Amino acid sequence: MKRILDLLPSLQKEEGAQSHTSWFQYAHSFLIHKPIMIENVKIVHDQSRTFRALAWLEGHALPGVEHHSNARAPPPRCHEGTRLQFIEFVQDWIKVPLSNQRLLWLHGPAGVGKSAILQTLAELLEKGGHLGAAVFFPSPMPADLPQSSTLSLSSRDSSSIRIWLTIAYRLATTQPAYCSYLVERVEGDPKIVEQTMEKQFEALIAEPFGQRNLADNNTCIPILIDGLDRCRGHDTQKQILRLVLGFIEKYPGSPLIWIITSRQEEHLERSFQGHVHLGERIQKLVIPVSSDEAHKDVQLFMRDSFVGFLEEYVHIKPSPWPDEKDFHLISSVASGLFIFVSAILTYIGNPLIADPISQLQTVTSIINRNRPDAQPEFVDQINPLASVHGMYTQILAKLPRSSYHVAKRILGFCLLTDGFGGWARDSTSFAQLCNILHITTNVAYSCLSQLHSLLDVPRFEDATSLPLRLYHESFASYLLDRNSSGSFYIDIEETVADLWRCHLRILVESNEPSQPIPQPSRIRLAWPLPSGDMVKEFQSDAWENARLAFFHHLLPCPTRDCAFGIHLKITSDIDKKPLVEILDKVNFSNLVDGYVCPDIPYRFIEFLRWILEEEHPLLQEKRLLFKLEMPENYRWINPRAVSFIIRSVRYAGGGCITTFEAYTDLPLLQPPVGSY
């Protein structure tokens, strides 16, 4: 507070303060040589006014959100020598005096270290005497004010309104002219804390730094806001951003410059798009998960950390440690996700365990999906990635349950490393996937709207050519681990069953009983495609891929020459009911042309063998299956066959005659070459 008082100019006398017209009122006939006069009463009153104003402001500011707050200790900060590219860029951006840019938006996926970068910048700016104010929104934001607060607020998020009071308090400690303005403003309207966010911004920021330009020098005053997406409520986040964008539009000459960090959230991106006319005043900087620079930074962080472990635990043998293959395993999996590697290193160096060697073995075993054969009883069993998984849970928890039900279907496909049937995970466009799953455009974007910090969701104009991608494989591991993801767990077998039913829908739509041949053009699209050629191409591919996977996934075990390896569960009478319903929908008159790929008929033969060899009462009850004697030799299915048909005739009194006819493209063997 002493520094504040030293900076303060003389303020207007407080009402009721003692006033003097001269030092020696009514005195005369005397002389004083070299006098030093001090107006004690005035100084006391000026100090009292400022103390009260700043104390009042401090009491209404957000607690524990500044870069040096004890509540954040130890704060995330960049490891020495890392993230230099971004730090130097921002420092240069701040120093350029003639730049028209007034807002820098640092954004990127969750966990890439945005807060650490801004913390490091705040410390560097403060050290150089250039920091205006910094607010680091915690995660999650407190929903309510402290019980001792005198505020009476009815907003949906009372705490976040205080962001401008927090910034105002910090600016008052470094800007004397602004401090004088603030004292007058607070004394004139102490109920400003109960006003709307817009009113507070106008009074505390726009008027002094926009209209009056109350800066004490010509240098820029950086205002840092970290984790805007962590401020409770999309409306509040957009409101804060809208006020800042409106300020830089209306007052381009203001000394205030803004640096805001957030995850890549759709609603924030839309807010920037709504101010596209401010293009030259806004700088966007993406912090990616994967880049050469990020990989180097991660490796530097890891090497220095392991050196620290060796210095702390001198008994570590063998040396050198760790093994290079273990080092590169972790660094390659971490990519540029700093929260991932930070969690791993924290786990390895856990002082309560004090056994980095065993901890490292546990980490590498988990990464390799293989537990160690034996672990000492004292080895910590806590998930090394608990903090990473906690972040994922927090993000997914924002989704309504109904939205996640749809998102789960989309994410499930992204977890299939080999894709499904003929659909490869990394080459199936977002629009194609949604058409396979029969999810409309609006529903697809809606259910993923909260997940842009975890997923690279193609924009609408790119959705027909680009796939949906997970930013980091640790998210996939989280979703596949029931213990970590809980209610967000994704069962791969359920995903396969869902995709298979979608392929059945495609086959049913393209095989109308009234039509002599399959008609892929009847396949319905949930996501309209921009051209007729694209529609035809998708329908053709969808039909071919459905035929490729249809019978294979009904088989209870893998077949030869097959790389799918995942099959529908049909092991109990309850599980067989879907099979009955499925076969009841099949148009057997176009079975092969419509449902089976002629180039690989063995899958269909294996399926027939299975359903004929197994006793399935439910199938017999539905009169979909009769016990038939099948020949052991299936050589009548020529490898070059283009089609074969099963004809089934049932009699009202019971019984059935089934005829198998095979057709080939060999001229000498047409018409039918076999009848059974």
Task: Indicate the Cα dihedral angle 64, 69, 74, 80, nearest 10°.
Answer: 130
**What are the tens digits of pLDDT across the range 577-594?**
555 566 666 665 566 566
Spatial separation of the C-alpha atoms in residues 452 and 412, rounded to whole Å: 16
Alpha helix stretches (DSSP H) within 96-157:
114-127
**Number of structural domains in the chain:** 2
The reply to whether 345 and 226 lie within a common domain is no
Spatial separation of the C-alpha atoms in residues 106 and 286, rounded to whole Å: 6
Cis peptide before 74 (omega within 30 of 0): yes
Asked if 114 contacts 287 with a C-beta cutoff of 8 angstroms, the reply is yes
The answer, yes or no, to whether residue 303 has pLDDT greater than 50, is yes
**What are the tens digits of pLDDT across the range 35-46?**
766 655 444 446
| Residue 633 within any structural domain of the chain | no
**What are the tens digits of pLDDT across the range 322-346?**
999 999 999 999 999 999 999 999 9
Asked if 423 contacts 459 with a C-beta cutoff of 8 angstroms, the reply is no
| 560 Rama sector, left if φ>0, alpha if ψ -120 to 50, beta otherwise | beta
**What are the tens digits of pLDDT across the range 237-258?**
999 999 999 999 999 989 999 9
Helix, strand, coil % (nearest 5) of the chain?
50, 10, 40
Neighbours of 445 (CB within 10 A): 17
The reply to whether 131 and 174 lie within a common domain is yes
The reply to whether 273 and 356 lie within a common domain is no
Alpha helix stretches (DSSP H) within 313-370:
324-334, 338-348, 356-367
Task: Give the pairing type, strands 256-263 and 221-226.
Answer: parallel
Spatial separation of the C-alpha atoms in residues 169 and 53, rounded to whole Å: 10
Domain boundary residue, one of 343, 359, 384: 384
pTM (global) more than 0.85:
no
Q: Which of 630 and 431 is assigned the larger pLDDT?
A: 431
The reply to whether 133 and 276 lie within a common domain is yes
**Which residues form the domain of 350?**
292-384
Spatial separation of the C-alpha atoms in residues 448 and 408, rounded to whole Å: 10
Spatial separation of the C-alpha atoms in residues 587 and 673, rounded to whole Å: 23
The answer, yes or no, to whether residue 283 has pLDDT greater than 70, is yes
Give which of 443, 416, 445 is closest to 428, Cα–Cα: 416
Residue range 472-481: mean pLDDT, rounded: 94
Q: Which of 132 and 562 is assigned the larger pLDDT?
A: 132
Domain boundary residue, one of 248, 268, 286: 286
Q: pLDDT grade, residue 58 (50/70/90)? A: confident
Spatial separation of the C-alpha atoms in residues 577 and 330, rounded to whole Å: 46
Asked if 299 contacts 331 with a C-beta cutoff of 8 angstroms, the reply is yes
| Residue 130 within any structural domain of the chain | yes
The DSSP result for 239-282, as a single string, is: HHHHHHHHHHHH-TT-SEEEEEEEE--HHHHHHHHTTGGGGGGE
Query: Three-state SS for 223?
Result: strand
| Residue 602 within any structural domain of the chain | no
Neighbours of 177 (CB within 10 A): 15
Q: pLDDT grade, residue 655 (50/70/90)? A: low
Spatial separation of the C-alpha atoms in residues 507 and 299, rounded to whole Å: 50
Among 15-29, 280-294, 433-447, which stretch is predicted with the lowest mean pLDDT? 15-29
The answer, yes or no, to whether residue 8 has pLDDT greater than 50, is no
The answer, yes or no, to whether residue 615 has pLDDT greater than 60, is no
Q: What is the pLDDT of residue 556?
A: 53
Spatial separation of the C-alpha atoms in residues 100 and 139, rounded to whole Å: 33
Spatial separation of the C-alpha atoms in residues 69 and 504, rounded to whole Å: 59
Count Cβ atoms within 10 A of the Cβ of residue 550 and give its class: 0-12 exposed, 13-18 middle, 19 or more buried: buried
The answer, yes or no, to whether residue 423 has pLDDT greater than 70, is yes
Q: What is the pLDDT of residue 512?
A: 78
Q: What is the pLDDT of residue 607?
A: 64
Half-sphere exposure of 455 (CA within 13 A, CB side): 26
Spatial separation of the C-alpha atoms in residues 212 and 372, rounded to whole Å: 67
The reply to whether 231 and 324 lie within a common domain is no
Q: pLDDT grade, residue 598 (50/70/90)? A: low
Most confidently predicted of 534-538, 634-638, 665-669: 534-538
Neighbours of 391 (CB within 10 A): 22
Q: What is the pLDDT of residue 19?
A: 47
Spatial separation of the C-alpha atoms in residues 2 and 498, rounded to whole Å: 69
The answer, yes or no, to whether residue 375 has pLDDT greater than 50, is no
Percentage, residues of the chain above pLDDT 70: 70
Percentage, residues of the chain above pLDDT 90: 51
Domain boundary residue, one of 384, 409, 425: 384
Rg (CA), the chain: 35
| Residue 579 within any structural domain of the chain | no
Most confidently predicted of 140-154, 369-383, 466-480: 466-480
Q: pLDDT grade, residue 599 (50/70/90)? A: low
Spatial separation of the C-alpha atoms in residues 88 and 105, rounded to whole Å: 15
Give CA separation, 437 vs 445, 498, 500, 604, in Å.
14, 8, 10, 24
The reply to whether 229 and 131 lie within a common domain is yes
Spatial separation of the C-alpha atoms in residues 599 and 640, rounded to whole Å: 7
Asked if 223 contacts 104 with a C-beta cutoff of 8 angstroms, the reply is no
Q: What is the pLDDT of residue 95?
A: 86
The answer, yes or no, to whether residue 69 has pLDDT greater than 80, is yes
Average pLDDT, the chain: 79
Residue range 99-111: mean pLDDT, rounded: 92
The reply to whether 126 and 239 lie within a common domain is yes
Q: Which two tokens stand for residue 477?
A: 């591991």
Give which of 398, 371, 396 is closest to 383, Cα–Cα: 371
The reply to whether 300 and 160 lie within a common domain is no
Give CA separation, 550 vs 412, 519, 544, 569, 622, in Å.
19, 17, 10, 14, 21
Give CA separation, 479 vs 420, 472, 574, in Å.
18, 12, 27
The reply to whether 185 and 301 lie within a common domain is no
Q: Residue 165 is part of a domain; what is its CATH number?
A: 3.40.50.300
**What are the tens digits of pLDDT across the range 379-405?**
345 789 999 999 999 999 999 999 999
Q: What is the pLDDT of residue 580?
A: 59
CA 668-673-676 angle, to 5 degrees, is 175
Give me the residues paired with residue 645 across strands.
661
Among 135-139, 180-184, 368-372, which stretch is predicted with the lowest mean pLDDT? 368-372
The answer, yes or no, to whether residue 614 has pLDDT greater than 60, is no
Q: What is the pLDDT of residue 21?
A: 52
Q: What is the pLDDT of residue 467?
A: 97
The reply to whether 112 and 237 lie within a common domain is yes
Q: pLDDT grade, residue 144 (50/70/90)? A: very low
Give me the residues paired with residue 659 across strands.
647
Give me the residues paired with residue 106 across strands.
261, 285
Query: Three-state SS for 214?
Result: coil
Q: pLDDT grade, residue 606 (50/70/90)? A: low
Q: What is the pLDDT of residue 521?
A: 94
Cα distance between the two ends of the chain: 100
| Residue 422 within any structural domain of the chain | no
Between helices 338-348 and 292-312, what is the axis angle to 10°? Answer: 10
Spatial separation of the C-alpha atoms in residues 183 and 198, rounded to whole Å: 20
The answer, yes or no, to whether residue 18 has pLDDT greater than 90, is no
Give which of 162, 209, 198, 168 is closest to 186, Cα–Cα: 168
In Å, the largest CA–CA distance within the chain is 143
Residue range 413-427: mean pLDDT, rounded: 88
Q: pLDDT grade, residue 463 (50/70/90)? A: very high
The reply to whether 326 and 374 lie within a common domain is yes
Neighbours of 335 (CB within 10 A): 21
Spatial separation of the C-alpha atoms in residues 31 and 281, rounded to whole Å: 63
Amino acid found at 582: I
Q: What is the pLDDT of residue 56?
A: 85
List, in order, residues 6 or more apart from 59 with CB less than 8 Å away. Answer: 149, 150
Q: pLDDT grade, residue 608 (50/70/90)? A: low
Give which of 64, 80, 92, 89 is closest to 120, Cα–Cα: 80
| Residue 109 within any structural domain of the chain | yes
| Residue 642 within any structural domain of the chain | no
CA 232-236-242 angle, to 5 degrees, is 145
Residue range 132-160: mean pLDDT, rounded: 55
The answer, yes or no, to whether residue 364 has pLDDT greater than 80, is yes
Neighbours of 645 (CB within 10 A): 16
The reply to whether 370 and 225 lie within a common domain is no
**What are the tens digits of pLDDT across the range 164-173?**
999 999 999 9
Q: pLDDT grade, residue 145 (50/70/90)? A: very low
| Residue 110 within any structural domain of the chain | yes
